[in-house]
Amino acid sequence: MSDISAELLSDLEILAEACRGDRRQFEVLMQRYFHLIYSLAYRLRGDRQEAREVTRETILRVARSIRSFSSTARFRTWLYRLTLKVDFDYTFNQRRSGRKPSARTYEDECPLNRRVLLALDSLTKPERETIIFAVYEGLTAAQIAEIFGCAESTISWRMYTARRKVSSALSKLGAAPDGGPR
Amino acid sequence: MRWSELERELRELQEPPMPPQAEIDAAISAAGEIFQSGSRLSEQLPPAGWTEFWLDLAPTVGAALLLLALWFGFAPSHDGEKVFRKGVMARSKKLVRELSVLFPGRLEAVVAHQNDFNLAISDQAAPQGRQPVLLEISRRGERSRIVTFSGETVELPMAGELLPLEVLLSGTGEILILGPDFLWSNLTPSKPRGFHISAAIMEEYPTG
């Protein structure tokens, strides 16, 4: 199949070909979803290098398990779950090997990013994941509940507590730097 | 703070620049290799019925082959390229080369067991100059293909148990596999506990 015709195929068609063992279509699919995995990994980790490692591992896991993907589940939801699992394992391995850094300062980030990342650090892991899906992926509480496999009310509660914590953290961090919202 | 206001502030988090395209391509290509190897391995495994059939015939066929080997003065080949089909060796080298780009010095093993693929990655980089070894282990229709390095221990799920195997490479090029209760060598190949083992040094590989 030529590159041009591959571009015209929808995600679903490419996914079907990949699930049947077509390596070329698998790679096309991963090129399409690399950005989604990488940006999610960055928001979860708050660190570019770690985001790269989580992304690589996620793609390898997709390669190993895409044949078990059920067409009844949305691919994007499945991919979100897989990324969350890799992120969890990454944190677990960091703790086990004693590599977990203490409180981050985000010196390498621009002031706007630093402020938001510090505010997100005030959240627990489930709260952070919930707010990331709501704010950056634009998902509804029902869609987030599907990813986590929990009740919608649990997500709504997490959103409520996360909002309060982030809001308080942002207030403590002071006004946004120049160019940021007022 | 209102939710809309808060959301706007959070959205100020800028995305980091994407990694270089070459890095993305390398990561996807390595994943593609694993993806493809999964289909190849499952295609190569003979169906269970045929396995049983050949197992029944194995003693007879083995004896006949041994007689033939003795007749022609055939000695086990120590040339890695001859132990495995060329394609298998070439694909394994490519896979390790690509994974080593992603995890420089940290790759401990790649284990393909039936349709399952696992990577063992260490936290710290190993010293340079390690020689990778390609192994294939099979018994009663279960087959595993492993790429690892001398000194590494790999745990293989075979016949319902975890089989720890330590791979050692001598200075003379002998490959030793130390199992829980056996020692296998490529110079005197045997079938310990019914395991059929093939091993070869991946010589052309520029070390991991």
Q: So what's the pLDDT on residue A26?
A: 92
| Beta strand segments in chain B, E | 107-113, 116-121, 132-139, 142-149, 153-158, 161-169, 175-178, 183-185, 196-201
**pLDDT band at residue B59 using 50, 70 and 90 as cut-offs:** low
**Record: contact B10-A38, CB cut-off 8 A:** no
Give the helix/strand (H/E) hosting B78.
Answer: none
What does the mean pLDDT of chain A come to?
84
* Cβ within 8 Å of B, A 117-156: 117, 119-120, 131, 135-136
Least confident of B8-12, B65-69, B113-117: B65-69
Alpha-carbon distance of B23 to B19, in angstroms, equals: 6
**Which residues does chain B have within 8 Å of residue A52's beta carbon, measured at their own beta carbons?**
19, 23
**Record: contact B13-A116, CB cut-off 8 A:** yes
Residue in chain A closest to B42 (alpha carbons) equals A21
Q: So what's the pLDDT on residue B71?
A: 39
**Which residues does chain A have within 8 Å of residue B1's beta carbon, measured at their own beta carbons?**
167, 170-171
Tell whether the model's pLDDT for residue B78 goes beyond 60: no
**pLDDT band at residue A111 using 50, 70 and 90 as cut-offs:** confident
The residues facing B161 across adjacent strands are: B158
The DSSP-derived string for chain A is --HHHHHHS-HHHHHHHHHTT-HHHHHHHHHHHHHHHHHHHHHHHS-HHHHHHHHHHHHHHHHHHGGG--TTS-HHHHHHHHHHHHHHHHHHHHHHTT---SS---TTS-HHHHHHHHHHTTS-HHHHHHHHHHHTS---HHHHHHHHTS-HHHHHHHHHHHHHHHHHHHHHH-SPPTTS--
Give the helix/strand (H/E) hosting B82.
Answer: helix B80-83
Q: Which amino acid is at A51?
A: A
Q: So what's the pLDDT on residue B187?
A: 83
Q: Which whole number is the average pLDDT over A80-105?
A: 81
Q: Which whole number is the average pLDDT over A53-77?
A: 84
**Which residues does chain A have within 8 Å of residue B115's beta carbon, measured at their own beta carbons?**
67
A107-130 CB burial, b ≥16 within 10 A, e <16? eebeebbbbbbbbbebbeeebbbb
Alpha-carbon distance of B158 to A117, in angstroms, equals: 46
Residue in chain A closest to B123 (alpha carbons) equals A97
Residue in chain B closest to A47 (alpha carbons) equals B16
**Which residues does chain B have within 8 Å of residue A93's beta carbon, measured at their own beta carbons?**
123
Tell whether the model's pLDDT for residue B159 goes beyond 80: no
Q: So what's the pLDDT on residue A35?
A: 94
**pLDDT band at residue A53 using 50, 70 and 90 as cut-offs:** very high
Q: Which whole number is the average pLDDT over B201-207?
A: 61
Q: So what's the pLDDT on residue B110?
A: 85
Q: Does ipTM exceed 0.85?
A: no
Classified as helix, coil or strand, B144 is: strand
Q: Which whole number is the average pLDDT over A90-113?
A: 77
Least confident of A79-83, A107-111, B68-72, B113-117: B68-72
Q: So what's the pLDDT on residue A179?
A: 46
**A65 touches B: beta carbon within 8 Å:** no
Least confident of A151-155, A173-177, B78-82, B151-155: B78-82
